[in-house]
Amino acid sequence: MNPVDLTVFVLYFLVVLGIGVFFYFRNKGADEYYIGGRKMGYSHVGLSVVATDVGGGFSIGLGGLGFVMGISGSWMLFTGLLGAWLAAVLLIPKVKNLSTEKGFYTMPEVFNHFFNARVALLAGIISAIGYVGFSSSQMLAGARLASASFDGVSLEAALYIMAFIIIVYTVMGGIKAVIYTDTFQWILLLGGLIFIGLPIGYISIGGIDAIRETVDPEMLTLTNISWQQFVNWGVTILPIWFVGMTLYQRIYATRTEKEAQKAWYLAGLLEWPVMAFMGVLLGLFAKVAADQGMFAYMGYEMASEMHQEEGLPMLLRTVLPVGLMGLMMSAYFSAIMSTADSCLVAASGNVTTDIIEKVFGIDTSRISMIRLSQLVTLALGLLAFMLAAVFDTVLQIMLYSYAFMVSALLVPIIGGIYWKRSSNAAALWAMIVGGVLTLGLTIFSDKDLPFEVPVQFTIPFGLDPIIFGLSASLIVFVGFSYLLPDKN
């Protein structure tokens, strides 16, 4: 990277770290650290929601989908639009005012309201595990982007750098720093894509004629996707809007129910069509550039020789002029930071509030608990780093984390809110069966895992394991609610 670009890039990170330091001295207690004092406006929260949900993992992952599928990869974020709007109508009215009345910090505290402490504890453990996985995927996304953009920087070295920046910033700032910087980071990403990445990439590869001559025609349609893939994305991604700890924190952080709903409507539109099509188009441009031999100087003669998630950063590195490269890299790293910091704060909240406080009876409202929260965030960040060092693909980690959380938590939370017959035993066993079955099916059916398993098999009809995990969770939940009702 040119010294000018590197200077722009370094200045961006210094600003982000400076914001973290600023809020390090401003946070007055757990209420400030985890939910911003419940005083955030809808525009900041809406931009933070979409920045967190799409972020770097989906930004780099969308580029990878555009590289192999074309514009049909945009359907993945259509599930984000549906999920956001459904949550605005069905979830927010049920939990926003309740959270203010009861002083909730986390999603498992909703479980504790509708069920008992054991159910809430298990929900906290599951949520923490899932968000460590999310954080890990963002570190890997940043490392892939950096290693493909900077000469002489290996993936391993880039992973160390990304992990350090993400962990230090998040440990210091808490949720208020996260939400305010998410607004800045998302505007930076949108501006970078609209005014820099897309137009320069399009012109550099030769425009629409070059695209049509280079890629298969189906990559330019919205039908280059199987029904199984669409269903898998839907059942994996859409339900996260009902169980995601990062999203509950933002519901709690808003001033009113109406403000929270407006934030969710805004976030849905920004996911699809805005970010969805911009992300896959850049991946498609990268595919064309690779097949034109534009990356030969880096040792890649054709697209088939590259990892699908490296195409986008290589395209930007190749076509962007001095100065703009630094801005565009800052934009993508801002997306990665916006998701990584949110996921780490969410996992920290689960461990501190839902596990440590409940098990040891510590009052997390005291200002001294900020120090404990920061230590927990540090430990979880290091765990996420170690996980990122094992996996190869960003979307692989993200979708596994989504699937585990959703299959364990979705049925009990919907049942607790909407079905009066729900029981504690039903919620507990539905979480165990749904989560364990999905995780087991995933491990024994995925041929691309970074470790060997003794047995491999194929899931029927090419469906995602989460479908079977959710089905089992629903059967257990309904059955146990009748067989083992709560005692009055």
The pLDDT tens digits of the residues spanning 196-248 come to 889 999 999 999 999 999 999 999 999 999 998 999 888 888 998 999 888 99
Q: How confident is the model at residue 125 (pLDDT cuts 50, 70, 90)?
A: very high
pLDDT tens digits along 307-340: 887 888 889 889 988 878 887 777 777 777 777 8
- In the chain, the percentage of residues whose pLDDT exceeds 90 is 40
pLDDT tens digits along 57-89: 567 778 899 999 999 999 999 999 999 999 999
Residue predicted with more confidence, 179 or 238: 238
Residue 366 has what pLDDT? 47
Residue 340 has what pLDDT? 80
Domains and CATH numbers, the chain: 3-395 (1.20.1730.10)
- Residue-averaged pLDDT of the chain: 85
Q: Is pLDDT above 50 for 361? A: yes
Q: How confident is the model at residue 392 (pLDDT cuts 50, 70, 90)?
A: low
The 3 state secondary structure assigned to the chain is CCHHHHHHHHHHHHHHHHHHHHHHHHCCCHHHHHHHHHCECHHHHHHHHHHHHHHHHHHHHHHHHHHHHHHHHHHHHHHHHHHHHHHHHHCHHHHHHHHHHHCCCCCHHHHHHHCCHHHHHHHHHHHHHHHHHHHHHHHHHHHHHHHHHCCCCCHHHHHHHHHHHHHHHHHHHHHHHHHHHHHHHHHHHHHHHHHHHHHHHHHHHCHHHHHHHHCCHHHHCCCCCCHHHHHHHHHHHCCHHHHCHHHHHHHHHECCHHHHHHHHHHHHHHHHHHHHHHHHHHHHHHHHHHHCCCCHHHCCCCHHHCCHHHHHHHHHHHHCCCCHHHHHHHHHHHHHHHHHHHHHHHHHHHHHHHHHHHHHCCCCCCCCHHHHHHHHHHHHHHHHHHHHCCCCCHHHHHHHHHHHHHHHHHHHHHHHHHCCCCCHHHHHHHHHHHHHHHHHHHHHHCCCCCCCCCCCCCCHHHCCHHHHHHHHHHHHHHHHHHHCCCCC
Residue 367 has what pLDDT? 46
Residue 156 has what pLDDT? 86
